[in-house]
Every structure is written in structure tokens, then in C-alpha cells.
Amino acid sequence: MSDKIKVIITDDHALFRQGVKAALSFRPDIEFLGEAENGMQLLNMLKFLQPDVILLDIQMPIMDGIATLPEVKKVLPNVKVIMLTMHNEITLITKLMSIGANSYLTKDSESDVIYDAIKTCYENEFFFNEFTNRAMLSELRTQTAAPVKSDENAELSDKELQVLKLMCDEKSTKEIADIVEISPRTVEAIRDRLKIKTGAKSTAGLILYAVKHGLIEA
């Protein structure tokens, strides 16, 4: 069994795709499965390939990254998707994280940062940086200012709280399972139950819930 992280890059600029591949080619734990020019081409590729991580450009012709992201998650729910863009827009980052993005990078990021994002998302689901942190804190302020919904006062069991705190510590599903002494499948079930109880639509939403309710520090 290969221990390499299988990656697909989707961007309409061939030069950028080649640049990223060249910059990461010396990393022994990265394997590029292929590249796509737009979202439609990527979705066709996913009929035959199963990447661990997808680098997905936001602005592309035919089918852009915003339209592609939820479709990718329908096909491969557990794939990690890192959004690429030329712009740093807080509201856009919040939207992307809420519909399944695992990180958000500007296209002028250093190759070391792209590598760290790929590896961290693969191992711990999310890669947080100044862009994602600012977006999440902005969303937190918005939620705090808004009227409290009934699902935000969810009654969580001790085990659910323990799993939620470990998620906030960026522990992987396997690490949480080992610490709590339950199976990875049970961790996933608890995570799904937490989403239902809190009304969160994503893991990022669960982290926002934990911060807002004082379970962890912002």
C-alpha cells in the first residue's frame, strides 16, 4: 500500500499547474495523479481516480471552483479540497469552508506552504492560516451578534465534548479514536451527531460553535 498523498490539481492556467507540480516533485510523499483545466474535467476524472487531496482554483471557465466543490464532496465525501485564488476575500472563505473546503490559499503562496497545506489537510482535515482564521473569527463575531438559535444550546455528552475539543486541537480521526479509546467509525458517528445537535454544517462550523460557547479559546 502506497503511503504517498495522491493529489490532483485543477486550474485553467497550464503554467501554474506545471509550476506547482515542479515545485513539489522532490517531495517523496506526494504523488500527482493528474491535472484538470476546469471543474467539469475534474469531475470526469473522479470517475476513475481517487485522490486524497485536490487543489482547486476558484476562477475557471466552464465550471468554476465554487460550483465544483459541493459536487466533488458528493462524489468523494472524504477528499480534502484546498481552494486556490488570487484574492483574499473573507466572506468567500467563510462560504467555501461552510460547503466543504479544507483550506484556502492564495496562488502566490510559497511551495513550502502549499506542501504544508496538503500534508496537514491529509492528516488533520484542515490547514488553518491567516486567511481562514480571520474569516472564521469574522463569522464568529457575526454569529455572536445574531440572535441565539435553539440548536446553539445543544446538550452534549461528556464523550461528545471530548471529541469536539480534540477536533479543535486539529487531531485526526485516528488520533481521536486512540485518545478516546473508540473506533474511527465511532468518531465519525459522533462528529455527525455533533453537527445535528449544534446545527453546524461542517467541521469548521463545529469549531466556531466550540469557540462561541467557551469550550476552547478563540
C-alpha cell at 99: 460547503
Q: What confidence category does residue 132 fall into, taking pLDDT thresholds of 50, 70 and 90?
A: low
Residues of the chain with CATH 1.10.10.10: 147-212
Longest Cα–Cα distance in the chain: 51
Domain 147-212, second-level architecture:
Orthogonal Bundle (1.10)
| pLDDT exceeds cutoff 80 at 203 | no
Average pLDDT over residues 122-151: 61
Q: What confidence category does residue 6 fall into, taking pLDDT thresholds of 50, 70 and 90?
A: very high
DSSP string, 154-206: ----HHHHHHHHHHHTT--HHHHHHHHTS-HHHHHHHHHHHHHHH--SSHHHH
How many CB atoms within 10 Å of residue 59? 14
DSSP string, 15-45: HHHHHHHHHHTT-TTEEEEEEESSHHHHHHH
Model pLDDT for residues 162-198, shown as the tens digit of each residue: 888 888 877 888 888 899 988 888 888 888 888 878 8
Higher pLDDT, 151 or 183: 183
Please choose, from the candidates 9, 72, 61, 13, the residue with its C-alpha nearest in 3D space to the C-alpha of residue 38. Answer: 61
Q: What confidence category does residue 216 fall into, taking pLDDT thresholds of 50, 70 and 90?
A: low
Q: What distance in Å separates the CA atoms of residue 107 and residue 66, rounded to the nearest whole number?
A: 16
CATH number of 5-129: 3.40.50.2300
Average pLDDT over residues 62-82: 92
Residues of the chain with CATH 3.40.50.2300: 5-129
Q: What confidence category does residue 131 fall into, taking pLDDT thresholds of 50, 70 and 90?
A: low
Higher pLDDT, 127 or 5: 5
Q: What confidence category does residue 137 fall into, taking pLDDT thresholds of 50, 70 and 90?
A: low
